[in-house]
Amino acid sequence: MTREPEVWTDPERPDDFPEPSETIARLAEATRRFLVSEPDLLEIGVNERTLTHRLAVYIEPYFDQWHTDCEYNRLGEKVKNLPRPEEFTTSPDDTSAITIFPDIIVHRRRTHYNCAVVEVKKSGNSRGVDLDVAKLCGLTAGGDYEYTVGLHLIIDCKNAAVAEVVAYRGGEVDDDLSAFAKGLFVG
């Protein structure tokens, strides 16, 4: 049985493609609602996947013409991956790409329109932070993915608050967007 080739529908850039600051403002409002509405999840110490799923539920209405997905590992029908950063290789010959599963993405499926990527950590959990940063840099850089904005959120579950937020754009930390995001998320 032959498979049909994957279908990509890349019309002109959508009119509703939000500016980076608008994307961050929407994500901040959704996160505030999540933190206020889900205290039981925060109090009982559920894992990060559970938190990110519930956060994605709150994000979705703020991007009604977009898809909000968790742990989404596809670019069309291909597996989403990035070149393996040097710090994650186990030997000089270990240079293959790493398959990535971003915590939350806002995108249009089967197009190249990628609005936001969000990586979440619970405060006190530093395991995997370097990989999160590598994903955010890789996914916001040019190339196949080119997410307009990436956010790294550190959630303080004990206080139902965002402890830290860093914004990524163009494959690196964007200091101006990070300061803007901190004003909306932290405090």
Domains (range + CATH), the chain: 20-88+99-185 (3.90.1570)
Q: What is the share, in percent, of the chain residues with pLDDT greater than 70?
A: 77
| Cα distance between residue 17 and residue 90, in whole Å | 40
Higher pLDDT, 105 or 85: 105
Residue 74 has pLDDT above 60, yes or no: no
**Using an 8 Å Cβ cutoff, are 33 and 58 in contact?**
yes
| Model confidence band, residue 166 (pLDDT cutoffs 50, 70, 90) | very high
Task: Write phi, then psi, for 118 (nearest 5 degrees).
Answer: -130, 130
What does pTM read for this prediction?
0.83
Q: What is the pLDDT of residues 111-159, one digit of tens each?
A: 888 999 999 999 988 888 998 999 999 999 988 788 999 999 999 999 9
Q: What is the pLDDT of residues 52-66, one digit of tens each?
A: 999 999 999 999 989
What are the tokens at 175? 């200091």
| Cα distance between residue 132 and residue 118, in whole Å | 9
What are the tokens at 95? 């240079």
| Cα distance between residue 73 and residue 101, in whole Å | 5
